[in-house]
């Protein structure tokens, strides 16, 4: 299996970095090929702009998604985008590894998504969900956060974690066609003991040993909808 880990944490000594290193070690131990995009270390530019295109289909007005298509087709998209896109298309499994910032991903990871998941190749028209451009690949989110597990639930102070992650799990990963695995969560990480952190790392290692046997989360199938995207009546 070919695995791409996209890691987004500014501190090389962070627990997120330890999760990334554990994943690399364990996956390579299993015989998988692994590439890592360490976004902060790479100083990855998260800002989508007209500078992403050496040639424009419309030099007078930028529709970013359309320029993405033109840039890929003409080979004039920014080199850093193309490099990351090549890794994405290469992999069988995408792992996104990051801490939660303000109920979301770090901005640098959101920028990676904005710039690398290019229109036309990854999605576009009715190429989404089970017809998305990345169909056949799987995705796994590995995240850390400061909150405790009891804070995230239907009647909990922050609400269910899956609702907080919906824009990523459904609106990005499933939308582009990937089979999405249940996220791995490191709870309350800044405040737990070193022993507890080591237990989390061991749980992560164990999880990585059983990925082939895991079912993916359920998301819509376009087969259940008509051409106007109204749900078909049974």
For 158, residues 6+ apart whose C-beta sits below 8 A from its C-beta are 103, 147, 151, 152, 164
Residue 51's pLDDT is what? Answer: 97
pLDDT value for 234: 72
pLDDT in tens, 20-52: 999 999 999 999 999 999 999 999 999 999 999
* CA dist 190 → 14, 16, 150, 186, 194 (Å): 10, 11, 16, 10, 10
* Alpha helices per DSSP H over 91-219: 107-116, 161-164, 166-168, 194-208
Mean of per-residue pLDDT scores for the chain: 96
pLDDT for 219 equals: 94
Does 233 have pLDDT greater than 90?
no
Q: List all residues 6 or more positions away from 213 whose beta carbon is below 8 Å from its beta carbon.
A: none
Q: Residue ranges per domain, the chain?
A: 2-224
When pLDDT is averaged across residues 89-103 and rounded to a whole number, the result is 97
**Of 150, 64, 46, 153, nearest to 101 (Cα)?**
46
- Which tens digit of pLDDT belongs to each residue from 202-222? 999 999 999 998 999 999 999
What does the pLDDT read at residue 33?
A: 98
The whole-number average pLDDT for the span 120-131 is: 93
Is 90 exceeded by the pLDDT of residue 53? yes
Q: Left (φ > 0), alpha (ψ -120 to 50) or beta: where does 69 sit?
A: alpha
pTM assigned to the model: 0.96
Q: What is the DSSP letter of 11?
A: -
In 3D space, the residue among 12, 8, 13 whose CA is nearest the CA of residue 94 turns out to be: 8
Is pLDDT of 64 > 90? yes
The 8-class DSSP code of residue 181 comes to P
C-alpha 197/C-alpha 86 separation (Å) is: 34
CATH match for 2-224 among 3.40.50.740, 3.30.70.580, 3.40.50.360, 3.80.30.20: 3.40.50.360
């Amino acid at each position: 299996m070919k695995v791409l880990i996209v890691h987004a944490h500014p501190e090389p000594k962070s627990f997120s970095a330890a999760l990334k290193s554990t994943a690399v070690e364990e996956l390579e131990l299993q015989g998988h090929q692994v590439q890592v995009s360490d976004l902060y270390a790479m100083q990855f530019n998260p800002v989508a702009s007209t500078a992403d295109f050496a040639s424009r289909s419309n030099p007078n007005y930028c529709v970013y998604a359309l320029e993405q298509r033109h840039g890929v087709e003409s080979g004039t998209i920014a080199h850093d985008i193309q490099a990351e896109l090549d890794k994405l298309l290469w992999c069988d499994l995408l792992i996104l590894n990051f801490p939660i910032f303000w109920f979301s991903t770090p901005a640098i990871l959101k920028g990676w998504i904005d710039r690398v998941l290019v229109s036309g190749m990854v999605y576009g028209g009715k190429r989404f969900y089970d017809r998305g451009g990345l169909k056949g690949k799987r995705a796994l989110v590995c995240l850390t956060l400061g909150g405790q597990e009891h804070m995230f639930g239907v009647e909990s102070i922050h609400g269910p974690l899956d609702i907080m992650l919906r824009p990523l799990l459904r609106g990005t990963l499933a939308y582009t066609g990937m089979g999405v695995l249940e996220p791995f969560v490191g709870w309350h990480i800044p405040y737990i003991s070193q022993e507890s952190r080591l237990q989390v790392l061991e749980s992560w290692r164990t999880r990585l040993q059983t990925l082939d046997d895991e079912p993916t989360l359920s998301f819509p199938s376009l087969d259940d909808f008509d051409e106007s995207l109204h749900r078909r009546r049974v």
